[in-house]
Each structure stands twice: as C-alpha cells, then as structure tokens.
Amino acid sequence: MVTSKGYPCELLNTQTKDGWTIGIQHMSNPGGKPVLLWHGFVQNAATWTSNFPGEDLVYSLYDQGFDVYLGNSRCTKYSKKSSLYDPNKDPKDYWNQYDFDNMPYDLEATFDFILDKTGFEKLGYVGHSQGTTMMFCLLTTNPEYAKKINLFVALAPPVYVSHSNSPIILLTDEFWNKFHFKDLFEMFGVWSISAGNKYLDLMFSGVCEITPLVCENILFMISGWDFSNLNQTRLPVYAGHPESFSIRDLTHGLQVKNTGVFKKYDYGYADDNYYHYGQNTPPIYDLNKISLLGPKFMIYYGGKDLLVDPFDVEHYLLPNLNPELFYQKPVYLSHYTHLDFVWGINAHTDIYDDVVDALKKQNY
C-alpha cells in the first residue's frame, strides 16, 4: 500500500534474543531521524498505511524527513518465524509466545537494529493499543532501553481495562468465566484464533464490499459506536488485514481486566507461578519504576473508546505515572473511538500534526 502511493518501502528483519525473526517495514529517508511505529492487537504494520498521504501519520513523518520504521509483533504476518518453535509441530509452545509479556523482546531487538543501522543514539516511538502496552511492559522491566527512546506517543493505551464496555470483550469475558472456554480450547488443542490468511482476508473484504454496515458494526462492537470519524469507503481495506491471536494473550488481557492489576500472565496455580517467576503470584508491572532518564510521554485517549475507557486512563494509568514523564498534558478526545487513533478522518489535525512537531524537537 505504501509503494502504490509513491513512497519507498523495504522489508527488513532482525532477531530477538528468544529466537523470533521480526519483520520491519522501512520507509527509507537516508540521514533522517528514526521513528518506530507499532500496531495494536490483531493487527500488523499495514494498519498505519490504510489511508492516504495527508491522512496517515507515516506519510506525514516521511514527508517531514523522518526515517520511518513499522514494527510487527511475533506471530503476525511479517514475523511468523521462530528458531525454537514450529506452529505445525508444537502449536502450544509457538502460540504461547504471543503474549504481551514476551513482546518487549520484539521491541528490544527492533530498537537495537534501527539504532545500529542509523547510527543515532535514540529514536521516537508511536504505539497504538497493544503497541503501547508492550512498551509500558518494557519500560518497567528494562530501564536500559528507556534511554534509547526520546518520545513515547501512546494512542489509546489499554493498560488498565477494568471498565471496558466493548460488547465483544464483555461477551468473551462472560463465556471465559462461565463456561471455562480457556480449558475447553486447551482440551481440544486450540491455541490460537486464526485470521490473516488469504481466505479470511477475502471474506472480510468481501463482506465490507457487499454489506458495509455489517463490517462497520463488527469494527465498532470492538472499538466504539461513533461512525462520524471513519471513511466508510475504506472499510474493505481496514478489514483486509486481520491477524491471528493466541488464546494466552486473550486470557492475559482478561486477567488484567478482571483483577484491575497490570501484571504478568497468571498460570492459575501457585506452583506454576513459582516455577516461572520465583513467587506464588505473577509480578506486577510497576509503572512507578519507569525511569525519568527515559522518554517523555504523549498520551491520547478517547471518550467513545469502548475498549479503553477514559475512567481507567484517568483513575488508574495516569495516577501511576510520574508527572515529570509527560511532554504535554494527556489529551482527551471526547468523540474518538479506539480505531479513530489510526484510521480517523480527523486524526491528522487532532493528533498527528502535534506528534510530528514534538518528534522534531527531540534529541536523537
């Protein structure tokens, strides 16, 4: 989608310390300051390129001289290869690696690759949805990497989600608890929910072409009900790049929702937790440990976001962050749904212009 709009794009690869090959789309601007963007849950880097120049953040960054990189989480279309696990021979071990506890390794490898390649000491980072969660995990567990980032732009961060009102999430949570869906999946050897293959891509795109209202409502059942900030003619494009996800990552997210605690995956038994963590309960991601020597934050959240409720941002996330971390006061956009932050018609003027301006002012 990038090259069709007249922009350069190449696929690069780097290796994580736990054996994953991470694919990185690179919009090369030689000598430009490096900026890395990371997608959310059930998405890949294509989510950043689904609109047009003048609308998507990536094109504005490139036009302003930045060297732009788009990351892809493990198990997604461009990062499927593991040196340790084979999805056909050992699907359980393979898909259990798709969890936001492990995704900071993807970030570490990508940061090191970009900084080694460019010669800069720091880069800017923009994350959406789970792309922010994994960054918060990294910043609380590996402060050395905080020094490699100058600005962290967090769009719709689902760190605390106890008040999520997404019908999809609420229904899933109900079935997960009442009917023990996780146990049923494990009993039948189901470790992931498949998407991102050509047949499902065609199916979703076809549904959006023929009956856009159905497609629109599926998207909004997840993210929010306001239709006003979405270009409905782009629905087939938005729905054309679904990704698979693991049962473990979904379970982990529901654990955080139900306990109200931002913590590592709970194995369900004290002995299992002790085996993995050296303690009977999963460690908490302590946001108070984020180093002031690391990036400044720009946080944006929406009033019509059904997944990331403003209450959770304002009463749980923000109070747990040192005020000195903020580049600017967190921005509340009353009419924004969860997906408006990447696909919204007005995101360019509401968010991206300020983000580009802030990134220009950083030291690299």
The answer to whether residue 338 is catalytic is yes
Helix (H) / strand (E) element for 22: namely strand 21-27
How many Å apart are CA 80 and CA 272, to the nearest integer?
28
- Region of residue 278 (phi > 0: left; psi between -120 and 50: alpha; otherwise: beta): left
CB atoms within 10 A of CB 279: 10
The answer to whether residue 129 is catalytic is yes
Q: Which of 67, 99, 173, 305 is catalytic?
A: 305
Give the residue among 128, 170, 153, 162 at the shortest CA–CA distance from 338: 128
Q: Which of 73, 129, 205, 223 is catalytic?
A: 129
Helix (H, G, I), strand (E, B) or coil at 177: helix
Q: Structure tokens of 295?
A: 């990036």
- Contacting residues for 304 by C-beta, under 8 A, at least 6 apart: 224, 225, 226, 334, 335, 336, 337
Q: Which of 338, 340, 348, 350 is catalytic?
A: 338
Give the residue among 326, 328, 346, 327 at the shortest CA–CA distance from 336: 346
Give the residue among 179, 165, 164, 192 at the shortest CA–CA distance from 99: 192
- Contacting residues for 151 by C-beta, under 8 A, at least 6 apart: 124, 125, 295, 296, 297, 298, 327, 358, 359, 362
Helix (H, G, I), strand (E, B) or coil at 91: helix
In degrees rounded to 5, what are phi and psi of residue 84? -110, -30
The answer to whether residue 315 is catalytic is no
Q: Which amino acid is at 136?
A: F
Residue numbers annotated as active site: 129, 305, 338
